């Protein structure tokens, strides 16, 4: 498992994840769309912490040089 995410990509994902989770909790109140946003947010947090995105690997894309 080779790292395929640059530092800026990881930071952007963390910010988007926090926005998704806050939006889900306070605006959507955990309805169906809110649960989907929460799951996506958690996945973004995990991939940011690990530095590896499975979707990037499938497509052959990488932001880390």
CA 10 – CA 51 distance, rounded (Å): 7
> Domain-by-domain residue ranges, the chain?
7-59
CA 17 – CA 11 distance, rounded (Å): 10
Residue 15 is predicted with a pLDDT of 98
The answer, yes or no, to whether residue 46 has pLDDT greater than 90, is yes
Q: Against a cut of 0.75, is the pTM above it? A: yes
CA 29 – CA 34 distance, rounded (Å): 7
Residue 50 is predicted with a pLDDT of 96
32 pLDDT tier (thresholds 50, 70, 90): very high
CA 40 – CA 49 distance, rounded (Å): 14
């Amino acid at each position: 498992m080779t790292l395929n995410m640059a530092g800026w990509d990881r930071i952007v994902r963390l910010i988007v994840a926090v926005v998704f989770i806050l939006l889900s909790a306070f605006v959507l109140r955990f309805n169906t769309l809110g649960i989907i946003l929460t799951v996506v947010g958690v996945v973004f947090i995990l991939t940011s912490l690990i530095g590896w995105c499975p979707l990037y690997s499938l497509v052959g894309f990488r932001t880390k040089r």
